Chain A
Amino acid sequence: MPAPLLSLRKMTKTYGQTVANSAIDLDVAAGSIHAILGENGAGKSTLMKLIYGVERPDEGEMHWNGEPVHLTSPAEARRLGIGMVFQHFSLFETLTVVENISLIVPGSKVDLAARIRALGQDFGLVVDPFAHVHALSVGERQRVEIIRCLLTEPRLLILDEPTSVLPPQAVGLLFETLRRLRDGGVSILFISHKLDEIRALCDRATILRGGRVTGDVDPRDHDSHDLARMMIGRDMPAPLHLAPMPKGEMRLELTALDHQPDDPFGVTLAGVSLRLHAGEILGIAGISGNGQAEMSRLISGETLLPASRRDEIRMMDKPVGHLGPAARRALGLAFVPEERLGRGAVPDMTLADNSLLTAHPLGLLKRGLIDRQAEARFTAACIADFDVRTSGPEAEAGSLSGGNLQKFIMGREISLNPRLLFVAQPTWGVDIGAATAIRHRLVKMRNAGVAVLVISEELEELFEICDRIQVLHKGSLSPSLDPRSTRPEEIGRWMIGSASVVA
């Protein structure tokens, strides 16, 4: 066997008390698609940062083409031939594709445009070099990022969760591109926690759990069950069954809601209508950036409507369009926003003080003064009930991992005994075990007669827990779809606008 393109031995990286990577071994063969599989917090991102020279290891060796290397910066990694496409794009929206690329890659714009077109031809990365980035779909933006990497002629391309931002149809196109790249001699490190994708695409998979390698396998030889067990250390959670519920009273009603956001880069909502009853879960599917943020601020009361339009949003059968968040919460709304730090929680405050944020009506105040004991009791109960991993109520919210903070915020909002529970991206960044627990909790709330509204990018999640699904695309909401009789592809078509063919 020839020497692997990239070889890591005993790579270790610690942050304070946390061991992010512990003695990781990894061999990436030339011309292969190699998966790094693991839950959130398993150490995938840290490992990629080590490989790309963003961080330096505490211990361990890295070999490139058999030669030992010590990377000190991404620039050095790029010189070796390592390219990386991050999960969050770094493109300037107001510039064109070729202008964005020319910021990094030397050469005249005419030249670059020709090379961009040529690469597009060769690898199925079709994009107009003179289009402005803000006019591109997410899939197209990702292509621009990949092209930008390819123009530096890498030998190894790292893709960090590339499918998390794509609709189902675009995933297929991306995979086709990646296979062509591999056949052209580029190795690919593909980071993901989606088992099916890895089985469909990858030649080799290294599985991480808790910062250690727990498996190094050919994913085609293993079924999803095996891979999941290596990834989470136990069996996959069983799917949930939704017992039909009698139709309850109306808890949330949006009627032909139009909204022009103040933010010039915001999404305009047009004619958004939905009805949500007690005892059901309504899922809002769609790719982020199609109006989810605007819609959730309107429902939470963070954005207000003028009093003349207050009937466009009704909660518990009352017009609330003009009422602020506190008034809506008093009616029985609880809300978990997608931004946890700085919105759902104050990072510099303790968990106990973060309980106070929305749970203060639950007897945490005595005549306007904070009852510190009640505050600590509530917080401790929340931490215990929702399995929040933390040193205790006095830990600062900013010190928790994203998943643990999400569990805490979920716990706080559920503890409010809401009549209407609204959750945006319930399991973003949460590990599989906790995500399952959160979904179970949502279904339990539904069964107890709470109306639950869920905005999520994860289609599987919505199919698992929702009674009905509506799809948000460019500020418009699709009609209500029944997940039992709708195929994911159909939802996918709504996600990219049924008229267009390719994202």
Chain B
Amino acid sequence: MIRLVRRDRASRRMAVAAPLLALFAAILSNLILFVAMGKDPGAVFYALLLEPFMTWSGFSEVLLKTAPLLLIAQGLAIGFRAKVFNIGAEGQFILGAIFASAIPVYFPQATGGWIWPAMLVMGAIGGALWAVVPAFWRVRLNANEILVTLMMSLIAVQLLNYLLLGPWKDPMGFNFPQSVMFQYDAMIPILFPGTRVNVSLLLAFLAALLAWIYMQRSFGCYQFLVGGLAPKAATYAGFSQSRAIWLSLLIGGFAAGLAGAAEVAGPIGQLQRSISTGYGYAAIIVAYLGGLHPLGIVASSFLMAALYIGGDNAMVSADLPVAAVRVFQGSLLVFYLAAITFVRFRLVRTGGAPA
């Protein structure tokens, strides 16, 4: 018989190995799935995992997708460490996009270098405001933030629909549910000429750096961590739980809103229905896959971005359904959650006759 035995201390080596193990298990099991679906595993494997890295244009698209995932996941991870589960980054992302779009929608003729930075600020504020509601109810009524943030995301989608079908619809847009195309100054400067990668990637890396310093050295972050690991000890030491909840949700909303703004002011260039391809949800997987560690999240957001691009490729070249990518993402998280058990536990073979 095999039993789980608690380790004397958490294993660092295993903490690094767990996401790799999970990735390996996810690749293996999904390839089996693809074979069962009658697809050519070699083609799928190539399209999904290798093709994104084969060309500079493909790779630049990976970098483009890395930015929002990295930004959102860093924000979420801070709260997750305090066991504040903000599942509504998707809604905060949409609100960020809406807030940012207000400037070019209402001032389509405006020019000047201030516009895109102002849009980013607006977006961050919008995302944070959307997180005020769950924070308020959690602190006031102890309403579960998982449910409230999730519901707020659904409201955000409907709000976006309303704006695009009503007041913000482009009058010259042949009745398509989308806003006007943004003017030049409402677009974030491109980082690498010839690609769509813009300055928001630098912002995301800056956020990762700040998060890393925050986690390593900040007493505030320490208080969050205590609140997450041992709530009674936090109360004992006099750390305010409501402050941790407020800050967790606001930081998460701020980062997601910023990412939403960067998306409309970046690759999309207008407000439309499909501004997010589930970044807010994928970032949850990214945060956990990165071990809730700022450096780990840099790696996991890059991986997840590559999977997005690879998934698109596989749909085209290997005839994979859209859902297959989601299945891959989901199985990655499930395998990771299983693998991290071994950070604190190890397997021991028991049984046989006692000597």
Contact = CB atoms under 8 A, between A and B. Distances in A.
Contacts, number: 80
A301 B235 CA distance: 9
Interface stretch (A53-61, A150-158, A214-222, A258-266): A53-61
Nearest to A340: B233
Contacts of A360: 219
A369 B219 contact: yes
Contacts of A162: none
Contacts of A329: 238
A399 B10 CA distance: 10
B219 A342 contact: no
B233 A343 contact: yes
A343 B235 CA distance: 8
Given A56-B354, A342-B230, A16 B8 contact: yes
Contacts of B8: 16-17, 396, 399
B82 to A, nearest CB: 13
Nearest to B5: A16
Given A57-B354, A396-B9, A343 B222 contact: no
A357 B227 CA distance: 11
A332 to B, nearest CB: 14
A368 B226 contact: no
Interface in A346-396: 346-349, 353, 356-358, 360, 365, 368-370, 372, 395-396
A402 interface: no
Interface in A256-305: 300-302
A339 interface: yes
Contacts of A342: 230, 232-233
Given A301-B238, A346-B226, A370 B219 contact: yes
B178 to A, nearest CB: 45
Given A369-B217, A369-B218, A370-B218, A395 B9 contact: yes
Contact of B236 (A344, A370, A372): A344
Contacts of B217: 369-370, 372
Contacts of B238: 301, 324-329
Contacts of A327: 238
B226 A357 contact: yes
A321 to B, nearest CB: 15
Interface residues of A, number: 40
A70 interface: yes
Contacts of B237: 325-326, 357-358
Interface in B213-237: 217-220, 222, 225-226, 229-230, 232-233, 235-237
A396 B355 CA distance: 33
A56 B352 CA distance: 11
A172 to B, nearest CB: 37
Nearest to A303: B235
A399 B219 contact: no
Given A56-B354, A343-B230, A300 B219 contact: no
A211 interface: no
Nearest to A341: B230
A300 B232 CA distance: 12
Contacts of B37: none
A56 B230 CA distance: 32
B353 interface: yes
Contacts of A325: 235-238
A58 B355 contact: yes
B129 to A, nearest CB: 26
Contact of B355 (A59, A302, A346, A358): A59
B222 A368 contact: no
Contacts of B218: 368-370
B16 to A, nearest CB: 18
B353 A356 contact: no
B229 A346 contact: yes
A32 to B, nearest CB: 27
Interface in A28-62: 56-59
A458 B8 CA distance: 32
Contact of B222 (A339, A347, A370): A370
A345 interface: yes
Nearest to B216: A370
B220 to A, nearest CB: 7
A344 B9 CA distance: 19
A300 B234 CA distance: 13
B242 to A, nearest CB: 11
B229 A349 contact: yes
Given A368-B218, A368-B219, A370-B217, A343 B9 contact: no
A353 B217 CA distance: 11
Given A325-B235, A342-B233, A357-B237, A396 B10 contact: yes
A187 B225 CA distance: 51
A41 B231 CA distance: 28
Nearest to B350: A56
Interface string B53-89: 0000000000000000000000000000000000000
Contacts of B354: 56-59, 70
A77 to B, nearest CB: 15
B236 A337 contact: yes
8 contacts: A58-B355, A324-B238, A326-B237, A339-B232, A345-B233, A346-B226, A348-B229, A368-B220
Interface of A: 16-17, 56-59, 70, 300-302, 324-329, 335, 337, 339, 342-349, 353, 356-358, 360, 365, 368-370, 372, 395-396, 399
Given A349-B225, A399-B8, 18 more contacts: A56-B354, A58-B354, A59-B354, A59-B355, A324-B238, A325-B236, A327-B238, A328-B238, A343-B232, A344-B236, A346-B226, A348-B230, A357-B226, A357-B237, A369-B217, A369-B218, A370-B222, A396-B10
4 tightest CB-CB pairs across the interface, nearest first? A326-B238, A325-B238, A369-B217, A343-B232
